Amino acid sequence: MEQPWTHTTVLLKEAVDALFPETSEGAGTYVDATFGRGGHARAILARLGPSGRLIAFDKDAEAVAEAARIEDARFSIRHQGFRDLGELPRASVAGLLMDLGVSSPQIDNPARGFSFRFDGPLDMRMDTTRGESVSEWLATAEQQQIAEVIRDYGEERFAVQIAKAIVARRQERGPVSTTAELAELVAGAVKTREPGQNPATRTFQALRIFINAELEELQQALEASLAVLQPGGRLAVISFHSLEDRIVKQFIAQHSKEVYDRRAPFAAPKAMKLKALARVKPSKAEVEGNPRSRSAILRIAQRTSEGL
């Protein structure tokens, strides 16, 4: 039986176009580092030539199962997070796409526990075959640690109050185990909120990012991209919130300029490894058709021949 949850791929044409310069013949190896439900992957395959190859990564077993439906000898999927990009051969990749965040089927499936809009187990793991769920972590974490996670990863100014409420509930009635319970606790602790935003939005984001080590994995994947991209290879990254985009922006900026060693002022500078190409946001039409795309930002860079 088909799952009722669908996914609309964000910045589909813009991201795939970014990987293929006008002179590209679709040869070489391309990587979809976050397969999701395969929207970008299928579009990349449509652009590949006969000798091209697409390697996809995803931690989610449901995404891997979806990838198995693609019958194309040029395609392969790895049940791994994109922190493992560095396992690919050095300078072997012509184009690398990272579409960060959570897919709509993950959000809309109550069993995954990503959303406060549906009651379900408080899980939030991208890979449900390993690791600790959010409910398991909240059952033992110290109040200060919970507050730090919600503050640092959710930019939530009521983080201390939320953490106190979670620990008090744990002591009185046992740990929080469902999304509805957590959303109710947060709503009681958050006194004010931006118009149109659910009080639990920032807390759910923070716990998801933390339990999946998303920002650390992004840093590792970006560093690995410098090794696996070939000269002229394209890097395209779609982010959906400020913490992710800040990391991507700073990474591209850091490697898009010559670096001088102040201790050796007459030495030649370290050449830049990337060339920043573009920053793209969804069109008005795309946002109207898919409101979840409104915060998306696509950043595009190209690998130079330096430092390989």
pLDDT per residue of the chain (308 residues) written in tens, 0 to 9? 344 445 689 999 999 999 998 878 889 999 999 999 899 999 999 999 999 999 999 999 999 999 999 999 999 999 999 999 999 999 999 999 999 977 777 787 888 988 888 899 999 999 998 999 999 999 999 999 999 999 999 999 999 999 999 999 999 999 999 999 999 999 999 987 777 788 999 999 999 999 999 999 999 999 999 999 999 999 999 999 999 999 999 999 999 976 555 665 655 556 789 999 999 999 999 999 998 899 999 999 999 987 66
3-state secondary structure 231-274: EEEEEEEEECCHHHHHHHHHHHHHCCCCECCCCCCCCCCECCCE
| Cα 18–Cα 286–Cα 76 angle in degrees, nearest 5 | 45
* Domains and their CATH numbers in the chain: 12-104+214-303 (3.40.50.150), 128-211 (1.10.150.170)
pLDDT at 134: 97
- Residue 263 has what pLDDT? 65
